[in-house]
Amino acid sequence: MESTRILLIRHGQSQGNAEQRFGGHTATPLSELGRRQAEATARALATECVTAIYASDLRRAVETAEPLARATGLAIKQTSAFRERSVGQMEGFTFEEAAEKYPEEYAALLRRDFEHVLLGGESYRQLLERAAQALDEAINDNRGGTIAVFTHTGTACILTLHLLGALDAPELRPVWLRTSNCGINRFDMRADGFLRVLALNDTRHLVGL
């Protein structure tokens, strides 16, 4: 039976990551390490016959997708739907600064409150609604192909749980599946909806960087 391969990839290390700052919707670029990670990821995906490349329209995700786009000749389909969750007023602050300045908002993040809308930002539910719709559309548009989606750690977590059907169970919504910078999550989805998990947070291609 025909299957579609789904590759969910977190962006490389950003300058904000290196400084331990909340990224959210800010346009932080890749660090030097992040650029090396992006090149290594493109090499790792060169044999996977990628047929479509999608990316969050935030700078760090697009910069991570660019080496694969150059290698394959494919255009990057950028969309705000694959952005990270907006953390609103906390964006740009270090984790320590945010915890001190916005203690209630920071606490809601730590307990993975699925419904809590951050001050000036989004809830995990809002993130799910926009990102899951975009992923479902990408899958439907590329049946039988291989899609690479360059996104963010929170978005990759929510999309992985969405693919697994885990978010239908309220008790599983606080689960956090961390994806490292340029970690790859691989799935095969059959036409009948059967999902096979091939790898979560695969970082073997980054060894030695």
- With beta carbons less than 8 A apart as the criterion, state whether 150 and 54 touch: yes
Task: Please name the residues in contact with 73: beta carbons below 8 A apart, sequence gap of 6 or more.
Answer: none
Rounded Cα distance, 31 and 11, in Å: 11
* The pLDDT of residue 130 is above 80: yes
Helical ranges in 78-172 per DSSP H: 95-101, 103-110, 124-141, 153-164
> Would residue 162 show up in a list of annotated catalytic residues for this protein?
no
* Type of residue found at 114: F
> Would residue 84 show up in a list of annotated catalytic residues for this protein?
yes
* Type of residue found at 77: K
What confidence tens digit (pLDDT) does each residue in 157-167 have? Answer: 999 999 999 88
> 3.10.129.10, 3.40.50.1240, 3.90.1150.10, 2.40.30.10: which CATH number matches 3-86+122-206?
3.40.50.1240
Reported pTM: 0.95
Token look-up 């000749």 returns 73
What confidence tens digit (pLDDT) does each residue in 146-158 have? Answer: 999 999 999 999 9
List the catalytic residue out of 39, 66, 84, 122.
84
